[in-house]
Structure 1
Amino acid sequence: MTTLAQSYQPADIETRLYQQWEASGMFAPHGDGAPYTILLPPPNVTGTLHMGHAFQHSLMDALVRYHRMRGFRTLWQVGSDHAGIATEMVVSRNLAIAGTGDTRDSLGREKFIEKVWEWKEQSGDTIERQMRRLGASGDWSRKTFTMDDGPSGAVIETFVRLFERGLIYRGQRLVNWDPVLQTAVSDLEVVSEEENGHLWSIRYDVIDPEPGQPDHVVVATTRPETMLGDTAVMVHPEDERYSALVGKRVRLPLGGREIPVIADDYVDREFGTGVVKVTPAHDFNDYAVGQRHHLPLINIFTDIASINDNAPEQYRSLDRNAARKIVLADLEAQGHLVETKPHRLQVPRGDRSGQVIEPYLTDQWFVKMDDLAKRGLELVENGSVKFVPPNWINTYRHWMENIQDWTISRQLWWGHRIPAWFDDAGHIYVARDEAEARVQAAAKHGGTAPELRQDNDVLETWFSSAIWPISTMGWPNAAAMQERGFDQHLPTNVLVTGFDIIFFWVARMIMMTDALTGEVPFRDVYITGLVRDKDGQKMSKSKGNVLDPIDIIDGISADTLVAKRTSGLLKPQDAPKIEKATRKEFPDGIAAHGADALRFTMCALAGPGRDIKFDLARADGYRNFCNKLWNATRFVLMNVGDDVRFEGAPQPRTDAEQWILAQLAKTSAEAAEHFANYRFDLLAQTLYEFAWNQFCDWFVELSKPALNGDDKAAADSTRHTLLFVLERLLCLLHPLVPFVSEELWQSVAPKLGKSGSIMIQPYPQAPDFDATAFGQASDDIEWLKSMVTALRRVRSELAISPAKQVSLLVRGGSDGDAARLSCFDAALRFLARIDHIEPLTGEPPAAATARVGDLDLFVPLEGLVDLDAERVRLDKELKRVEAELTKSQNKLAAFEGKAPAQVVEQERQRLVEWTSQRDALAGQRARLG
């Protein structure tokens, strides 16, 4: 038994409890129940916990803790991703800061990778420490890093098997290219935002025009430098203006090459002149056109986005931006620049380098996706994998039906090096290691293996993430699979993730797991929305509206918060604006709320698939909720006594006990339903209502007459029920608020003969409680609550002190009301501060009135208020409110057909509010005569 502190201070309990849980091994799978497994989407090893993580991790941990308490053999498989590009950038930046002169290239591959491992050992577990602070009960003994030996071996095996099946190939295709990082990047690493630019119109002369036909066409482009790689101009096949030119040739300005005029319905006839240039090596849409029309691919850029030798000599070696200026100057000088005008356009930038991404033609490794995607779609369509909410299947279907081959190679050093070797003749040998590659090469070359060199590229991180469900379970090593429970934990039960990576990760896990093992990786995919700020804006460093979950848990001063939000900005000139907004919103910084309040907030906001607006005021409210639980527990412990012990379930003797036990059964049933449907918002609402209103407010109050009465049996029974329901309530709440529930449970449980940890107590279920016989008691207590609520409302309206005794006159009602008045006479007197209750047959004196069912309630006002003064006050207030009501009515009449809808709606709301106030005041005035 622990001694419960006087006040709730989360900082005093959370770290201590987590260390106890982890040290005792409670997060590992236990028991012989059915397995329940969740995969943690592996966060980047360079990352820190952000609000999206806190949101999803709160939901995952709630599911894990719930099923652990249900007796499942529960595993939350945790780990992190090696984050190729991000990690190389971090370590390269650290080398520059160190001032030793070392760079990635000067160190060489092996030495640089050693530096990365050194950094990883020192700084790579930040997010894991922060997850612990949030209360994540993952099995850290099994944590997996994508560059560990096991997962690395799985990556190599996957590559080799897919290559042997003809699903991986090497080819030259267009990819997203970051010219600063000098690597291909995925679509997810490209951020397109609208920027100011220009639209340039350029004249292309027709070669040998026929009489009566145009002698030139004008094309519009936002990237004039790429015209050096044009291989056609294009018109719509149904555009009569240019139909005679289709099949003709035009001369490319500056370069002098002849290129064809082609027809393709990709062209928008309404945009510009209806003629567009085609540069297949520098535009993804043009690339598709080029494939349809068998156009040549002319790449004019180097890997650092300068002009290469495929362009005219005068432009070679120029940076793309410098080349643009000279190209435009030359076009104007030669009379080919027709028009320049401002234009808003979408500019793709690398999310890490901030530089404009180039569509770039390079040799890369690809995965053929057509057959894999067809199977991946089938597994979702046939219900093997279920999306929650189900509408996300439409997004999944759209992507899978419009899939492109997957670029899996990256021009980096940190990552899984591609297991392919080349000889001097360009032959490729894909193998599990160099020895196996040499065997292949020897067989090809008549028994003697030539010199081989391994591909310098690595696989993109999404490739290793795609096999996360099986690599974390030991695949393909049979002994590791046995040790890690491959057959028990695959398929996993649910994946909790965001909609933005349905294609990049979810779809690829489904396809790859099926292709390699014949299994699906998970049964359910619960898709969450994004966490936005209280105004619905996306949280971003540039907007200065980012909230750090650790700051919400532990608190942060205003000065530190401002410094945090204004450091490292891409646009330092935004700092004053961000500081002003931050100090306005958080003048005193952010108070410490504790992990439980943040977790409960996240669950309460988790509507199905919707983005959530995170308002810190909600976290304030849920910290108050934790404090309410603390104080209620102290009340129970003080009223139960130190030496009291109870066994088993209570045998209720009072209606209040029967009522709360029935409510407990109902709440337990609803909690199970909400967990099954992933309705965390409804779960939080249900548990909050039961904890705050039904238990902490009503049952604590309803128990006081028995606790303070002369019936010892009723008092002891009430004490037992208070303890029993509180213990079960803490178990209901534990998955959402693990720390405060554990700390309080440790004080309550010994009095019920329980020990250990709340984590492994059985989760309350409706069949645990036989509440079928408590129906009448529940109805009676609901009637009592209605009576007390009505009388408290009268007191509030008349500003009568809660300590002042009042009289109650009752009239009408049924025989049942009369019986209840007799039964609950003492309870009503105690709860509503009534000195006596009398039946009334005639008209009442001046009184405040209320009604419960068919029963009229009268509280005589004589001696409670100065009737004359109250009449004067109410008349004055009524006059003021009626004036405002008239003003609002007049405004609405004047607005008709003139004011904006939003203004009209605001005034209508004011009218409703003034009307409600008028009616309430009129009712009070009428009672005074």
Structure 2
Amino acid sequence: MKKEIPKAFDSNIQEEKITKLWEESKLSNPEKMESLLQKKGIDIKESFTITLPPPNANANLHIGHMCGYSFQDVMGRFNRMTGHPTLLLPGKDHAGIQTETSFTKILKEKGIDKWELGREKFYDMCYEFSLKNAANARAQEKNIGLSADYSREYFTLDPKLTKIVYETFYKMFEEGLIYRDKRIVNQCPYCKTALADVDTEHEERRGIFAYIVYPFVDKEDREIAKKTFGTEGITVATSRPETMLGDTAVAVHPKDKRYSQFIGKKVLLPIANREIPIIADEDIDMELGTGAVKVTPAHSPIDFEIGKKHSLEVRNVINGEAKMEGDIPERFIGMDTLECSKALCSELDELGLLTDIQNIKHDVAVCERCRTPIEPIISNQWYVDVKPLAKKALEALKSKETYVIPKGQQRALEYFFENIQPWCVSRQLWWGQRIPVWYNGGKNLYDWLRENEGKTVKEYEKESGKKVNGTGEIYLGEEAPDSSGIWEAETDMFDTWFSSSQLPYSTLGGIEGEGYKQYYPTQMMIHARDILYWWSARMMMMGIYRTGKSPFGVVFLHGIILATDGSKMSKSKGNGVEPSEMIGKYGADSLRLWYFSDALPGSNAPIREEKIKGNRNFVNKIWNASRFILMNIDESEIEEISKEDIDTKSKRVQETEKHIKKISKYL
């Protein structure tokens, strides 16, 4: 009987049928696949596993997510076809600050104030919001053809995963790898939290470049400077005059002949009227600005390192809301940084100490979510000492236990491990996994006693002017150790990457879980190049720390999808492309095929709708050819062919086998 099939190929109808067929087969579940192979008497090969990068549960998936799944899915399907029980493990990320910012914005549009809701109500509503987005993302994943095992789908705030994250925290704390410290952090004044570098971006903004004279303290030095420079001091150039109130030195290069005679001398910090030294530092660029650099350890990451090197005083003069504070002239206290900058320039000009001021355009670090300029501040936070962890991760790369594709990115990852800095894992948020710590007498007391080793609670009370009920001890646990009421809960949340870095083993039940024994370590990690240091690097460090093994054998990096003009897609620019639009017009397979052909490892790919359309037309030709054959031949005319009837020595079969081996080599 001849088959009747539709004249036109409808990708939506056909792909839905195919998706349903795969779901009914249950082959995405590795245990079900293993059982099927056993029934058929087929040898079971080693399992193959990829922990899929969990998309943020705060919005619909974008075109980059959808295309990234194409690489992961093709590896999964290839390994199933070659007899490996395969686990593509899906999940959704609670995404800390990204979700909190998105949900806060939605509430604001509805006229609801986050602060009026309170932490508990906000958290519950945010949880519900995230689960709805997770369900939408799951439907989109299935729409692109992702053959993941959804019976195992996880959410990063699942209690089972949180339990493992807490176990890691307790272990690291006991071993001295996690600690509180006062260091410089990226602070978002609007979101009111510390940020990781990955949570910031750079934007070109208008600003100023001010040239300010710092007069020498000694009369003889002033006279020499007057003859040498035409001023009675040393001139520094800065784009942030407001930070000068926190200066504790001026640095010059030791080989800079202009300033060598002044090294060790002192200048008077204008307006603040404090004496600060001129120091020599080989990291100073003699060609930049005037070659003399104001050093503000509390408000510049570079200056912070200079300050540590030279044991400089650290003076905090800007708080987390970008307001002026601290030991500064009273008239500036409470001003925002821009207001203070203008006021200082005006006063410096009146004093004859502002020699020049230029309007400039320069790169400014901003919060990825709200676009507020980042304020580097000194803050007490929780840190991980990652150096010993990075050393072992580096060994895994060098021994080829794990390697990176493309190769050039492997050296970049090695360099990252070689130069790694302490990892700040605390965030001042309401959404996420609360750091399980309790403070006896409050966090301020604990931090003060830690910073002032050897001092007592009474001395804290005297200095702070506050009476406290407590000892300054801390307790680690989800609940307070007793009901005395003197224990204050830590309100900070873990950095999202702290939990995400543990996914390869936490999603398998931890190191005691049955899934762990079967599927850890995984074979591959596939994700975009831009999160190599933030995710794969940290998964390697945490995986080796908890299990003794690197969590994956291969890290395959793909680029990001760009707009047609090669720029980054952005909602604000209006140049984004909705995945549903592309799939609706051309089908998921056409989109996937375009990505395979255009997205080279580690390279970004501008979206090419014409190519996607061409792929749809190609599929249509195959459909029409198949339709022609099926409509012009009866099934009764086709003879059955057994395996034994196939001539394996024929040129066609041998050529096919040769191409299969060649293609398989690259998968």
Q: Judge same fold: TM > 0.5, yes or no.
A: yes
Residue of 608, 615, 621 corresponding to 1:628: 621
**Residues in 1 aligned to 2:300 and 2:663: alpha-carbon distance in whole angstroms:** 53
Q: What corresponds to 1:273 in structure 2?
A: 290
Q: What corresponds to 1:610 in structure 2?
A: 603
Q: What corresponds to 1:254 in structure 2?
A: 271
Q: What corresponds to 1:67 in structure 2?
A: 79
Aligned to 2:635, the other structure's residue is in SS state coil
Aligned positions of 1:48-59 closer than 5 A: 48-59=60-71
Q: Any conservation in 2 of the 1:8–1:630 contact (CA below 8 Å)? A: yes
Deviates more, 1:401-410 or 1:635-644: 635-644
Residue of 125, 131, 147 corresponding to 2:157: 147
Based on CA coordinates, which of the two structures has the bigger radius of gyration? 1
**Residues in 2 aligned to 1:613 and 1:89: alpha-carbon distance in whole angstroms:** 29
Residue of 413, 417, 429 corresponding to 2:474: 429
**Residues in 1 aligned to 2:61 and 2:126: alpha-carbon distance in whole angstroms:** 21
**Residues in 1 aligned to 2:161 and 2:473: alpha-carbon distance in whole angstroms:** 24
**Residues in 1 aligned to 2:334 and 2:175: alpha-carbon distance in whole angstroms:** 42
Q: What corresponds to 1:11 in structure 2?
A: 12
Residue of 201, 205, 208 corresponding to 2:218: 208
C-alpha displacement of 1:193? 2.8
Q: Can you list the C-alpha shifts for 1:373-432, whole angstroms capped at 9, x where unaligned?
A: 111111111111011222211100111111110000000011110011101153343423
Q: What corresponds to 2:549 in structure 1?
A: 519
Q: Any conservation in 1 of the 2:59–2:133 contact (CA below 8 Å)? A: no
Q: Can you list the C-alpha shifts for 1:158-186, whole angstroms capped at 9, x where unaligned?
A: 11111111100001110000000000011
Amino acid paired to 1:647: I
C-alpha displacement of 1:492? 0.5
Q: Any conservation in 2 of the 1:239–1:269 contact (CA below 8 Å)? A: yes
Aligned to 2:407, the other structure's residue is in SS state coil
C-alpha displacement of 1:660? 4.1
C-alpha displacement of 1:51? 2.4
Q: What corresponds to 2:464 in structure 1?
A: none
Q: Any conservation in 2 of the 1:423–1:450 contact (CA below 8 Å)? A: no
Q: What corresponds to 2:47 in structure 1?
A: 35
Q: Any conservation in 1 of the 2:254–2:281 contact (CA below 8 Å)? A: yes
Aligned to 2:334, the other structure's residue is in SS state coil
Q: Any conservation in 1 of the 2:563–2:569 contact (CA below 8 Å)? A: yes
Residue of 494, 516, 521 corresponding to 1:459: 494
Q: Any conservation in 2 of the 1:219–1:276 contact (CA below 8 Å)? A: yes
Q: Does 1:601 align with 2:594?
A: yes
Q: Does 1:672 align with 2:654?
A: no
Amino acid paired to 1:349: V
Q: Can you list the C-alpha shifts for 1:255-314, whole angstroms capped at 9, x where unaligned?
A: 111111111112111122211100000000000000001111111112211111322100
Q: Does 1:648 align with 2:610?
A: no
Q: Any conservation in 1 of the 2:316–2:326 contact (CA below 8 Å)? A: no
**Residues in 1 aligned to 2:5 and 2:27: alpha-carbon distance in whole angstroms:** 23
Aligned positions of 1:640-789 closer than 5 A: 640-643=633-636, 644-649=638-643, 651=645, 660-675=652-667
Q: Any conservation in 2 of the 1:267–1:276 contact (CA below 8 Å)? A: yes
**Residues in 2 aligned to 1:391 and 1:626: alpha-carbon distance in whole angstroms:** 36
Query: TM-score, length-normalised on structure 1?
Result: 0.64
Q: What corresponds to 1:396 in structure 2?
A: 413
**Residues in 1 aligned to 2:319 and 2:289: alpha-carbon distance in whole angstroms:** 30
C-alpha displacement of 1:520? 1.1
**Residues in 1 aligned to 2:401 and 2:527: alpha-carbon distance in whole angstroms:** 18
**Residues in 1 aligned to 2:129 and 2:59: alpha-carbon distance in whole angstroms:** 13
Aligned positions of 1:522-541 closer than 5 A: 522-541=552-571
- Alpha carbons of 1:610 and 1:309: their partners in 2 closer, same or farther (altered >3 Å)? closer
Amino acid paired to 2:92: S
Q: What corresponds to 1:166 in structure 2?
A: 176
Deviates more, 1:599-608 or 1:665-674: 665-674
**Residues in 2 aligned to 1:98 and 1:541: alpha-carbon distance in whole angstroms:** 21
C-alpha displacement of 1:533? 3.3
**Residues in 1 aligned to 2:16 and 2:560: alpha-carbon distance in whole angstroms:** 28
Count of paired positions? 619
Amino acid paired to 2:659: T
RMSD: 2.1
Q: What corresponds to 1:493 in structure 2?
A: 523
Q: Any conservation in 2 of the 1:307–1:320 contact (CA below 8 Å)? A: yes
C-alpha displacement of 1:325? 1.3
- Alpha carbons of 1:127 and 1:652: their partners in 2 closer, same or farther (altered >3 Å)? closer
- Alpha carbons of 1:198 and 1:538: their partners in 2 closer, same or farther (altered >3 Å)? same
Aligned to 1:124, the other structure's residue is in SS state helix
Q: What corresponds to 2:373 in structure 1?
A: 356
Q: What corresponds to 1:405 in structure 2?
A: 422
Amino acid paired to 2:259: Y
Q: What corresponds to 2:106 in structure 1?
A: 94
Q: Does 1:132 align with 2:142?
A: yes
Q: What corresponds to 1:415 in structure 2?
A: 432
**Residues in 1 aligned to 2:96 and 2:473: alpha-carbon distance in whole angstroms:** 24
**Residues in 2 aligned to 1:96 and 1:341: alpha-carbon distance in whole angstroms:** 39
- Alpha carbons of 1:271 and 1:316: their partners in 2 closer, same or farther (altered >3 Å)? same
Q: Does 1:82 align with 2:94?
A: yes
**Residues in 1 aligned to 2:534 and 2:219: alpha-carbon distance in whole angstroms:** 50
Amino acid paired to 1:468: L
Q: Can you list the C-alpha shifts for 1:222-256, whole angstroms capped at 9, x where unaligned?
A: 00011111111111111122122111111111111
Q: What corresponds to 1:678 in structure 2?
A: none
Q: What corresponds to 1:503 in structure 2?
A: 533
Aligned positions of 1:234-313 closer than 5 A: 234-313=251-330
C-alpha displacement of 1:61? 0.4
C-alpha displacement of 1:650? 8.3
Q: Can you list the C-alpha shifts for 1:80-135, whole angstroms capped at 9, x where unaligned?
A: 11011122122222322333xx4222222111111112222333332221111101
- Alpha carbons of 1:389 and 1:627: their partners in 2 closer, same or farther (altered >3 Å)? same
- Alpha carbons of 1:593 and 1:650: their partners in 2 closer, same or farther (altered >3 Å)? farther
Q: Any conservation in 2 of the 1:205–1:250 contact (CA below 8 Å)? A: yes
Q: Can you list the C-alpha shifts for 1:799-856, whole angstroms capped at 9, x where unaligned?
A: xxxxxxxxxxxxxxxxxxxxxxxxxxxxxxxxxxxxxxxxxxxxxxxxxxxxxxxxxx
C-alpha displacement of 1:547? 1.8
C-alpha displacement of 1:331? 1.1
**Residues in 2 aligned to 1:123 and 1:607: alpha-carbon distance in whole angstroms:** 30
Aligned to 1:413, the other structure's residue is in SS state coil
Q: What corresponds to 1:474 in structure 2?
A: 509
- Alpha carbons of 1:465 and 1:280: their partners in 2 closer, same or farther (altered >3 Å)? same
Q: Any conservation in 1 of the 2:540–2:550 contact (CA below 8 Å)? A: yes
Q: Any conservation in 2 of the 1:496–1:526 contact (CA below 8 Å)? A: yes
**Residues in 2 aligned to 1:417 and 1:3: alpha-carbon distance in whole angstroms:** 60
C-alpha displacement of 1:627? 1.2
- Alpha carbons of 1:174 and 1:71: their partners in 2 closer, same or farther (altered >3 Å)? same
Aligned to 2:628, the other structure's residue is in SS state helix
C-alpha displacement of 1:616? 1.2
Q: Any conservation in 2 of the 1:36–1:74 contact (CA below 8 Å)? A: yes
Identity of aligned residues (%): 37
Aligned to 1:391, the other structure's residue is in SS state helix
Aligned to 1:299, the other structure's residue is in SS state coil
**Residues in 1 aligned to 2:46 and 2:372: alpha-carbon distance in whole angstroms:** 50
Aligned to 1:434, the other structure's residue is in SS state coil
**Residues in 2 aligned to 1:368 and 1:18: alpha-carbon distance in whole angstroms:** 46
**Residues in 1 aligned to 2:611 and 2:434: alpha-carbon distance in whole angstroms:** 47
- Alpha carbons of 1:116 and 1:534: their partners in 2 closer, same or farther (altered >3 Å)? closer
